Amino acid sequence: MKDKFFRDINYMRISVTNRCNMRCNYCMPNVVKNLCENEILTDDEIIETARAAVRCGIVKFKLTGGEPLLRPKIAEIIYKLKNISGVESVSMTTNGALLAENINELQKSGLDSVNISLDSLDIKRFEKITGFNLLDKVLDGIDAAISSGVHTKINTVLQKGINDDEWEKILLIAKENPVYVRFIELMPIGEGKNFWGISNEKILNDIRKKYQGVENDFSVHGNGPAVYIKIPGFLGGVGFISAMCGKFCSSCNRLRLTAQGKLKPCLSFADYLDVREILRSSEKNLIQAKLENLIKKAVELKPREHCFETPVKNSETLRMFEIGG
């Protein structure tokens, strides 16, 4: 479905939990109040919402969180999403710590691709950023995902003075493996307001200085506004998600559904439409039609662009682990 700026909105990120087994400094504070189970959308409610979304033109879903692998029966949710007629792909973004032990089941359930977050290859630094000594588990998860054949991407957020010197090492994963390494600019959302990111423009310049023959790669079409390059001799590719320096809003194609059922038209504004209210208070035979109306309304309400560069306008108070990234 097109929004009022003629963007095709065909992608929904679904957060399946607010819980996480890490505490990345720019995403989640150390102490958070756990939500009660009944505040979170049930498996059936997620599928019901996805069915309505597909009728509104959504064909791609990404499961996120918190950490989606902490959600019980996540493979079953993937299987059910994949079996909705019209769904083209179901992917997941995960911190990877529980991936090695789950990848086979996820693959069997139909998972098309996985994005694994990795901000450091140094054990101490990894622990400093994420709060946990889990780098080995994450690297096992990356290896398992690559070996499984599930399409794999690595997502890296660089922070000034913390891990900004690691792009070269992390990039090498894409040299040696058929994966995409993508640099995501730090966004001033929630905890992210307390840290300094690195401009992707700078990383791209540094890459061009180090490697000859870097070319734009227009053949890659992920779920959204990432732009890609190809470096000669690399098995994989490199991508940039430049929320800040690239202001990617003209190619925005998404809605976000939080674990509590808040349907968000845009990351940087607090506005949302309440899916859970409809699911729990409507007559059963009216739910699908009402959800469809709500989703269409969310698409209509999408603003032209985010306002990260004007913090006073940035009304969202939820933090990334509550939204799903």
Could you tell me if 231 and 239 are in contact, meaning their C-beta atoms sit under 8 angstroms apart?
no
- State the residues that interact with ligand SF4 by CB under 6 A: 20, 22-24, 27-28, 65-67, 95, 117, 320-321
Binding partner of residue 186 among ligand SAM, ligand SF4, none, CB cut-off 5 to 8 Å per kind: ligand SAM
Report residue 308: phi and psi, to 5°: -60, -30
Which residues face 153 on adjacent strands?
A: 115, 180
Cβ-based neighbours of 33, under 8 Å, separated by 6 or more: none
CB of 10 to ligand SAM, least distance (A): 20
Are 93 and 68 a contacting pair, CB within 8 Å? yes
DSSP state of 97: T
Which is it for the CA torsion 278, 280, 283, 285, positive or negative? positive
Q: How far is the CB of 142 from ligand SAM (least distance, A)?
A: 12
State which residue, 66 or 246, has the beta carbon closest to ligand SF4: 66
- In whole angstroms, how far apart are CA 173 and each of 101, 119, 183? 21, 12, 13
Binding region for ligand SAM (CB under 6 A): 20, 26-27, 64-65, 67, 93-95, 117, 155, 157, 184, 186-187, 189, 192, 320-321, 324-325
- The nearer residue to ligand SF4, 74 or 299, going by C-beta atoms, is 74
CB of 320 vs ligand SF4, minimal distance in Å: 6
Q: Which does 23 bind (CB under 5 to 8 A by kind): ligand SAM, ligand SF4, none?
A: ligand SF4
Non-local (6+) Cβ contacts of 252 within 8 A are: 7, 224, 225, 266, 302
Among 193, 318, 211, 178, smallest CA distance to 257 is for 318
H or E element in which residue 93 lies: strand 89-94
Specify the residue, 238 or 291, whose C-beta has the smaller distance to ligand SAM. 238
Name the residue number minimizing CB distance to ligand SAM. 192
Given the complex with ligand SF4, which of 157 and 231 has the nearer CB atom? Answer: 157
265 interacts with, out of ligand SAM, ligand SF4, none, CB within 5 to 8 A per kind:
none
**The sheet that has 227-230: what strands, in order across it?**
215-216, 227-230, 237-241, 180-184, 151-157, 113-117, 89-94, 60-64, 11-15, 254-257, 262-264, 273-274
155 binds, among ligand SF4, ligand SAM, none (CB under 5 to 8 A by kind): ligand SAM
Decide which of ligand SAM, ligand SF4, none touches 189; Cβ closer than 5 to 8 Å per partner kind.
Answer: ligand SAM
Q: How far is the CB of 130 from ligand SAM (least distance, A)?
A: 9
CB of 119 to ligand SAM, least distance (A): 7
Instruction: Give whichever of 294 and 322 is closer to ligand SAM, judged by the CB atom.
Output: 322
Q: Which does 70 bind (CB under 5 to 8 A by kind): ligand SAM, ligand SF4, none?
A: none
Q: Give min distance, CB of 20 to ligand SF4, in A.
A: 3
CB neighbour class for 221 (10 Å; exposed up to 12, middle 13-18, buried from 19):
exposed
